[in-house]
Structure 1
């Protein structure tokens, strides 16, 4: 209990006398008060926080029933406190304006009175969960499992999750190395890397976030055009021909981008208010998947796939998986017969493969206890326009007339292991979302490491378990059917969901919408922060903003770059591009931490107890390896781009001195060279004149 009390006579002290109030404050200032070190008090080790002892005394969010003991222990937070925090939940990147408000020109932190300070769960864990879980989980993970098999899919997920976990450990070291600056991930990283590397990483982070917006918009349009309103397509789509679908994605994606840009331009507060709704959609969809897995073990859903021999047929254009049907004791050709044959039953001209093979129906979701996991254990890669076939199903060979019969399920792209790595990696990005609001965290040095690592661990468990459960519950041909054509245009993961497939369809749609809006909100702020740092003169125009601080010009450039990604027209082609930018960003974060540790930089003293320089080196190596595994030519282009940005900043704008470790590398090398010169007298051949000019 604090012991510094000032006793004043009640009868001689008017309650409303302001002069007395000032004297009381002066009296108390003379004594050294009892203060609990706040989480941001210099470079001191922050006090461990708990659910019972609070470091900030904001009475607006806590109950006041125990005011007598408030100095020692706050009262238990009320339900309204939690609801208030959830209502103020945000996932928007902190930008340059917030950073400038939190720092004065000489770099000294200002004391600001903020609203409710965020803890680990609301401020870091939930934003990271929302950014990591998303479009790839719902639209591509089942296809990856069916194509690569359970074993190789687990390897892909493990490599990607390990890369982000190692990067999160390096970020935790940066976050616990002194005071965490306000302004989000860019400021936290750039002040440790220096102007050159900081600018290159910042631009990679910006471009990755921008292309992520393109990917989310393309995912939104894919769900809308294929699973919600397929009749809204402008261009007709042919089996195995992606051109029609890509044109539809370009038209609707551009319209969606314009609408989202207007929403962000009108007011970020609307995006902020919807953040919790979008997060709820993600969590409900994931719960529906796990509920469907349990339900499949009890009663598998009645969803059938029609096979001709071992070939998978699109479940459209016919109602029965039969060649002929008996109606009023008369054998009648079915709709499926008419698709393969010309003429009646007696004088028909049928496709040879159709004549030699029988039609069979199998369950799309046999269930958890069906033993289908053994069939999905290994990969089934295929070339472009090859038919999706069920392995082990008997069939008679015939001349290949698959192009003449537009009813087979075909591969729309050639598949191989490295391609799947590039497509999957964006599903594990978003680990920096928790540090985006570093200035709003109650204890950032504790919340950023704990919340980020817990979010990565949780999402990794979700991804790894989904790989195994998808392979154990869903038939292989249904997994490899990317757009669900064999199950009446239903998402493969939606056929597994309980209580309804629409939970996944609607949930994933709003999840992609929310992620796209937040990418369009966060990316301009990153660009604005880079522009206001003044390290790249040609970007200074994008540092301008509206009177309320919103980056207008940066938003326009972001929308233009995002449109480039949308014009590509395919989620599978955009995903590897943003993978490169994020991997480059993660590579430099790990590199900076490893270099500063090996150089023993005096101002590099991270307090994160699980950090070691070897983990940063391993994360850097893994990031570089994944870049070349995903796409070696994209990797070379991004490395060349980052190198050009580095040299440009070094030549034009590197006048900043942020006390970074990269300049420490030069000082360390100079010190080492000078010490080596003193070991022996110089040889006459190595003599150099030393001129003193007065």
Structure 2
């Protein structure tokens, strides 16, 4: 459990919330809109229908699952909202500041649609109730629904203050209607009826029944979305939504039990609303009518108030440029009138779609059920992301995650997330898949826009936590050649001229390792040098970004002596078990650089690392970002370097731009007998290494450099090994011979292996 407090955050919440909102308290700002949304059309028009078809046992299971999901979500919301200053936008604000703008934007749209769809759902319920009480009005069912939608939109357009005043009156009427409804059932309760209604009817579709009921318990979002109008969101939201769930859940439980024990199954299914009105005590059916009108209107009005605020928050964050005009508010309370107008248009469109079929012969609206199923899917997806956000915050163990709300653990959020996804697929796996695909599409759209904003979200903390734990596990895992991966350090003195080095390094790494590019700056080390280091590092990062090389980490070292600094850097450039195993650098093209490279290779050898030197690449920039055809030649002259050369060459030819090339392994033999043995050896190695490559053995007494220049004259790239001799003088001569041998040839990778890579693993 998280048990933490922060008076500073509490003050920040108050200031943030008070900037432009109404400063509502817990009851008016959270409980009232939430409970009025929760006790809506379903309570009067669909609970009895569900009880009749599902039976009491399964009806209570539906209620229990729904309440458990909503309660888990409420605890997640409470933890997040009491950990960060909350502004307008409610759940959208919380998710975007936890999982980032990608998830926040996609779920913000989903939440807006869920609440927007729930408005016509309740308006259709209102029209159904009116037509049931006044049968002569049945032919005007759609007209009543459209007129109601317009009137509620106009009331909301004037501002939340007027809407809230209406809600207080509605709350009183709703309370009287619910008491009358319960009293009418209580006088008819019998044990025999209770027993008869326990089991479901044959063919009952519990997924669809759950979908019809679930919008009834989603009212807490109406209170959460008033976050920008609350005096103290961090206190009001947790208290208000939990009170709402306990009160609303208790009332629904009482309704299921009373009506399941009072009336026979056929009446419950065929006349779910009429049975309530007809059995009101002392002829007070009009109070039921008043109650259902209050319930449906209050829910629609509450959603009309809160849903536009989600759209306004999306527009303010510039998540979708097309919505930028909706960010503007009106009046001292920043009323989202433009967003309200959009919502009115959506409401009218859904009413026209859902209300065209009119009422069924039993007086029920089929369109209302369809709208409920769509709303349930949107709400489940939204609740899943809310719980995921809380899980990421808590399980990621961010030090900044210090919620004042005490009754929360990451396992609660994980249950909420899993339950939402499973229930969504149980209701309709096709619709659930479509909803996830649409949400994912919105996420990718936002991501591909390269949305630049820093919400201080929890993704970094979660990733840090996973990396930390995996580093500990990796450190305890025995090293085996089968798990070898390239971890490269690129040495560059002129990164602006040598950007081809990280480009080809990413191909050799092939998304299987880690690459760093380090620039050593020799200078006098003082306080000014470290400021210069930051400047050089920004330049290096800019060069990599300019050439779209995003998988290379830039690093800069300021030092007095390059050789000493390299020795220290290669030892210390690690995090736990992650340390470099390959150093990449340019091949020396002059006498001074040869001596320098010899010292570097000695250092690299001492630290048991491999070395890859790039020859001729500064003349082959035409290969960058282009599809390469042809052949990659690997010259095998000994056993020390062949494994690493073959692994790297195989990674290179598997790059999408190099897949048009083939591998060829070449050896030189002095006699036919030796050639036969070498061919068998090459074929065996290729087979055991599971690498597709051609083999070729030449029998010749010519100098090796002539054979290489002739046979690889048309190659696209060359791999060749270099075994450092003990003598620096001999090493110097080898570099000179390599320069002569490779001059004017294809780009060449000169490889010196430490032996850590095993081709046959």
TM-score (norm 1): 0.63
Residues 274-423 of structure 1 mapped to structure 2, 5 A cutoff: 274-294=166-186, 296=187, 367-369=188-190, 371-381=192-202, 415-423=204-212
Q: Residues 33 and 302 of structure 2 are in contact (CA less than 8 Å); yes or no, is this contact kept in structure 1?
A: no
Cα offsets for 1:577-617 (capped at 9, x unmatched): 01111111110111111122222112112232221111111
Is 1:561 aligned to residue 346 of structure 2?
Answer: yes
Judged with a 3 Å threshold, the aligned counterparts in structure 2 of structure 1 residues 273 and 637 are, in CA distance, closer, same or farther, namely: same
Corresponding residue to 1:261 among 153, 159, 180? 153
Displacement after TM superposition at 1:497 (Å): 2.8
Range moving further from structure 2, 631-640 or 495-504: 495-504
Counterpart CA distance in 2 for 1:287 and 1:640 is 44
Is 1:535 aligned to residue 440 of structure 2?
Answer: no
Is 1:524 aligned to residue 490 of structure 2?
Answer: no
Corresponding residue to 1:502 among 278, 286, 307? 286
Question: Using CA pairs below 8 Å that are at least 6 residues apart, which structure has the higher relative contact order?
Answer: 1
Judged with a 3 Å threshold, the aligned counterparts in structure 2 of structure 1 residues 123 and 524 are, in CA distance, closer, same or farther, namely: closer
SS in 2 for 1:42: helix
Range moving further from structure 2, 269-278 or 587-596: 269-278
Judged with a 3 Å threshold, the aligned counterparts in structure 2 of structure 1 residues 260 and 681 are, in CA distance, closer, same or farther, namely: same
Displacement after TM superposition at 1:675 (Å): 7.0
Counterpart CA distance in 2 for 1:555 and 1:446 is 27
Judged with a 3 Å threshold, the aligned counterparts in structure 2 of structure 1 residues 254 and 495 are, in CA distance, closer, same or farther, namely: same
SS in 1 for 2:252: helix
Higher strand share: 2
- Map of 2:52 onto structure 1: 146
- Map of 2:69 onto structure 1: 163
Counterpart CA distance in 2 for 1:626 and 1:603 is 33
Is 1:233 aligned to residue 16 of structure 2?
Answer: no
Is 1:590 aligned to residue 378 of structure 2?
Answer: no
Cα offsets for 1:7-41 (capped at 9, x unmatched): xxxxxxxxxxxxxxxxxxxxxxxxxxxxxxxx984
Task: Please list every run of 5 or more consecutive structure 2 residues that lacks an aligned counterpart in the other structure.
Answer: 356-366, 496-518, 520-761
SS in 2 for 1:43: helix
Q: Residues 282 and 507 of structure 1 are in contact (CA less than 8 Å); yes or no, is this contact kept in structure 2?
A: yes
- Map of 1:492 onto structure 2: 275
- Map of 1:125 onto structure 2: 31
Cα offsets for 1:197-222 (capped at 9, x unmatched): 11122111111110011101111111
Is 1:43 aligned to residue 6 of structure 2?
Answer: no
Counterpart CA distance in 1 for 2:6 and 2:175 is 33
Displacement after TM superposition at 1:126 (Å): 2.9
Judged with a 3 Å threshold, the aligned counterparts in structure 2 of structure 1 residues 677 and 475 are, in CA distance, closer, same or farther, namely: closer
Cα offsets for 1:182-239 (capped at 9, x unmatched): 5544323432232111112211111111001110111111112222x221233xxxxx
Higher helix share: 2
Q: Residues 115 and 303 of structure 2 are in contact (CA less than 8 Å); yes or no, is this contact kept in structure 1?
A: yes
Residues 179-198 of structure 1 mapped to structure 2, 5 A cutoff: 179-181=85-87, 184-198=90-104
Q: Residues 592 and 662 of structure 1 are in contact (CA less than 8 Å); yes or no, is this contact kept in structure 2?
A: no
SS in 2 for 1:608: coil
Q: Residues 17 and 233 of structure 2 are in contact (CA less than 8 Å); yes or no, is this contact kept in structure 1?
A: no
Is 1:576 aligned to residue 397 of structure 2?
Answer: no
- Map of 1:5 onto structure 2: none
- Map of 2:680 onto structure 1: none
Q: Residues 225 and 307 of structure 2 are in contact (CA less than 8 Å); yes or no, is this contact kept in structure 1?
A: no
Q: Residues 167 and 619 of structure 1 are in contact (CA less than 8 Å); yes or no, is this contact kept in structure 2?
A: yes
Judged with a 3 Å threshold, the aligned counterparts in structure 2 of structure 1 residues 482 and 196 are, in CA distance, closer, same or farther, namely: farther
Cα offsets for 1:389-440 (capped at 9, x unmatched): xxxxxxxxxxxxxxxxxxxxxxxxxx52111010000000111333334455
- Map of 1:410 onto structure 2: none
Task: Please list every run of 5 or more consecutive structure 1 residues that lacks an aligned counterpart in the other structure.
Answer: 1-38, 47-98, 104-108, 235-247, 297-366, 383-414, 485-490
Counterpart CA distance in 1 for 2:50 and 2:369 is 11
Superposed CA RMSD in Å reads: 3.0
Give the total of aligned pairs. 473
Residues 72-111 of structure 1 mapped to structure 2, 5 A cutoff: 109=16
Range moving further from structure 2, 672-681 or 425-434: 672-681
Cα offsets for 1:149-177 (capped at 9, x unmatched): 11111111111011101111111111221
Judged with a 3 Å threshold, the aligned counterparts in structure 2 of structure 1 residues 440 and 513 are, in CA distance, closer, same or farther, namely: closer
Q: Residues 222 and 306 of structure 2 are in contact (CA less than 8 Å); yes or no, is this contact kept in structure 1?
A: no
SS in 2 for 1:688: strand
Is 1:135 aligned to residue 41 of structure 2?
Answer: yes
Cα offsets for 1:348-389 (capped at 9, x unmatched): xxxxxxxxxxxxxxxxxxx1136211211111246xxxxxxx
Q: Residues 97 and 104 of structure 2 are in contact (CA less than 8 Å); yes or no, is this contact kept in structure 1?
A: yes
Is 1:426 aligned to residue 247 of structure 2?
Answer: no
Counterpart CA distance in 1 for 2:39 and 2:474 is 56
Judged with a 3 Å threshold, the aligned counterparts in structure 2 of structure 1 residues 212 and 111 are, in CA distance, closer, same or farther, namely: closer
Q: Residues 148 and 379 of structure 1 are in contact (CA less than 8 Å); yes or no, is this contact kept in structure 2?
A: yes
Cα offsets for 1:542-581 (capped at 9, x unmatched): 2234456333432232223223322123111100101111
Judged with a 3 Å threshold, the aligned counterparts in structure 2 of structure 1 residues 263 and 687 are, in CA distance, closer, same or farther, namely: closer
Judged with a 3 Å threshold, the aligned counterparts in structure 2 of structure 1 residues 161 and 644 are, in CA distance, closer, same or farther, namely: same
- Pick the structure with greater CA Rg: 2
Counterpart CA distance in 2 for 1:267 and 1:43 is 30
Counterpart CA distance in 1 for 2:377 and 2:75 is 20
TM-score (norm 2): 0.58
Counterpart CA distance in 1 for 2:302 and 2:132 is 24
Judged with a 3 Å threshold, the aligned counterparts in structure 2 of structure 1 residues 40 and 133 are, in CA distance, closer, same or farther, namely: farther
Cα offsets for 1:247-305 (capped at 9, x unmatched): x54443233323332333344443222010111122111111222234x1xxxxxxxxx
- Map of 2:486 onto structure 1: 686
- Map of 2:457 onto structure 1: 660
SS in 1 for 2:281: coil
Q: Residues 6 and 404 of structure 2 are in contact (CA less than 8 Å); yes or no, is this contact kept in structure 1?
A: no
